[in-house]
């Protein structure tokens, strides 16, 4: 699999999102999914302390035991684990990283990310604590998530000579294009890697949800028709994108991944998985090199 850079880190262009671990998957199923990912060339594994009520980190740590050198390990802090463990205050940053290192059963984290901005703590204070972690060798690189352009610029200015964010992880897909409102350009200007999450728009871009067809029983979108991404407008767009991909011998899933990776600032597309087969399909979905004409046609479809 191709790799790209997040700061000093070489990561697979398809990453594994670990939000299902500890929630939909137990420890044994987690291990199977993780090993399938590594065996498929995926080396970038992204979790967070809140996933699975902290169980995601625990299960992931067990799964990579003996294979730590094969993994670029990313986790996040800042969203509420509980009422006491939350936010981006320096004291909590120091505690949160210790907790994550223990759960992950590792000596270092490759990419440690602030999960969301904390309006109650100056970003300079948070960055100072993160810089300490980098200098101590507990963290190799730092990143952020759910930041807008103004917040990215504030963080860049506040970093000074210390560690600075090398990545931003925001929602981005064919059906959710908010980063095109400024974050993409800011990544290009500042040399930040963009890590799209929800690249399949909660499953709408897998091709299994079709306009006028019943929602598959037991699927994550069952009962959610008309809410979230599951709108008539999006379903119509899915039909047009599916027709475009099929006419060129590709799947909608391949289009979803490859379109994102056509953006030079995108380092790795993070997608969750609940089975070994799903991991393998995702890992093989990034090989379509869309031409300029194809990108223009997709743009026209998205513009309506």
Q: Is residue 148 part of a domain?
A: yes
**How many angstroms separate the CA atoms of 223 and 139, rounded?**
42
Quick one: average pLDDT of 239-254?
A: 97
Contact 159, 172 (CB under 8 A): no
pTM: 0.93
133 in Cβ contact with 139 (< 8 Å): yes
Query: Is residue 251 a part of any domain in this protein?
Result: no
User: pLDDT tens, 159-209?
Assistant: 999 999 999 999 999 999 999 999 999 999 999 999 999 999 989 999 887
Range of the domain at 108: 3-203+263-289
Other residues' Cβ atoms within 10 Å of the Cβ of residue 236: 12
Residues annotated as catalytic (active site), given as ranges = 51
Within-domain flag for 176: yes
**Residue 275 included in any domain:** yes
- At residue 212 the predicted structure's pLDDT band, cuts being 50, 70 and 90, is low
CATH (domain of 178): 3.20.20.100
Q: In this structure, what token pair is assigned to residue 29? A: 């199923």
Residue 301 lies in a domain: no
Residue 92 has which token pair?
Answer: 């909590």
pLDDT digits (tens, 9 = 90+) for 37-92: 999 999 999 999 999 999 999 999 999 999 999 999 999 999 999 989 999 999 99
State the Cα torsion 237-239-241-242 to the nearest 10°.
Answer: 160
- The answer as to whether 276 is a domain residue is yes
CA distances from 205 to 35, 133, 245, 252 (A): 25, 38, 11, 6
How many structural domains does the chain have? 1
Residue 109: exposure state from Cβ atoms within 10 A (0-12, 13-18, ≥19): buried
Q: Is residue 247 part of a domain?
A: no
pLDDT of residue 219: 56
Q: Point out which residues pair with 3 in neighbouring strands.
A: 12
9 Cβ neighbours under 8 A, 6+ residues apart: 72, 110, 111, 140, 141
Please indicate, yes or no, if residue 127 is contained in any of the structural domains.
yes
Mean pLDDT, rounded, for 282-293? 96
Phi and psi dihedrals of 70, rounded to 5? -90, -5
């Amino acid at each position: 699999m191709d790799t790209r850079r997040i700061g000093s880190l070489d990561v697979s262009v398809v990453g594994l999102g670990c939000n299902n671990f500890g929630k939909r998957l137990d420890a044994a199923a987690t291990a199977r999914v993780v090993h399938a990912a590594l065996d498929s060339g995926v080396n970038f594994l992204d979790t967070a302390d809140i996933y699975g009520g902290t169980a995601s980190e625990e299960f992931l740590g067990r799964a990579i035991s003996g294979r730590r050198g094969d993994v670029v390990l990313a986790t996040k802090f800042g969203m509420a684990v509980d009422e006491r463990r939350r936010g981006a205050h320096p004291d909590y940053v120091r505690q949160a990283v210790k907790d994550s290192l223990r759960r992950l059963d590792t000596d270092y984290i490759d990419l440690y990310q602030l999960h969301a901005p904390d309006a109650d703590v100056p970003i300079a204070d948070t960055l100072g604590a993160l810089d300490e972690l980098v200098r101590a060798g507990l963290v190799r690189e730092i990143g952020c998530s759910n930041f807008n352009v103004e917040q990215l610029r504030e963080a860049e200015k506040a970093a000074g000579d210390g560690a600075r964010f090398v990545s931003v992880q925001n929602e981005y897909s064919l059906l959710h294009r908010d980063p095109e409102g400024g974050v993409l350009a800011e990544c290009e200007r500042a040399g930040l890697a963009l890590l799209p999450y929800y690249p399949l728009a909660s499953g709408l871009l897998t091709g299994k949800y079709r306009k006028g067809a019943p929602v598959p029983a037991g699927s994550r979108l069952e009962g959610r028709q008309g809410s979230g991404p599951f709108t008539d407008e999006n379903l119509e767009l899915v039909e047009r994108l599916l027709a475009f991909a099929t006419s060129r011998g590709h799947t909608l899933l391949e289009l979803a991944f490859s379109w994102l990776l056509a953006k030079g600032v995108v380092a790795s597309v993070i997608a969750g998985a609940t089975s070994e087969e799903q991991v393998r399909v995702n890992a093989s979905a990034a090989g379509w090199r869309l031409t300029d004409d194809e990108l223009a046609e997709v743009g026209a479809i998205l513009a309506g």
